[in-house]
Structure 1
């Protein structure tokens, strides 16, 4: 709950936020994030049909490209979420194995 409050204090509106669910068993569920901070229910971007980081990164990039203003996209989260975000952005990361 505190994390969401901190983030909301840094943005002008919940409509500036994209909520995701990392593909990791210990990751917070999207519903839990939304219930922990009810102000997020007022317009944040989320998709319960496609909770992926990739979907929301691409959605954020699309919305930013349509804006008349210069937009900055900030992605924050766990190392698992960041790995998914970097992959969605096209970074080809070296890997120790295929698994």
Structure 2
């Protein structure tokens, strides 16, 4: 189950260093319960995100499309509820881990 799946979920793919930097920033800000959660998805899902994404600045005009984040982070996307539901189908079984 993905909590908050009725909102936009921002995920980064293939960039462990960025995840660790974000974790350090959140911990420094006092969010002590922040952790890195990871899982594998099939390549087809990332291909879908790359093809269907809209810029973050246009996300309100396209409320069901995944968002391409407006900064230079490669493979970072905001997923809307329909995208999250689709992603669940592409997660590799037993690949989830914390840390």
Q: Give the shorter-chain TM-score range.
A: under 0.3
Structure with larger RCO (C-alpha < 8 A, sep 6+): 2
Q: TM-score, normalised by structure 2?
A: 0.27
Larger strand proportion, structure 1 or 2? 2
Larger helix proportion, structure 1 or 2? 1
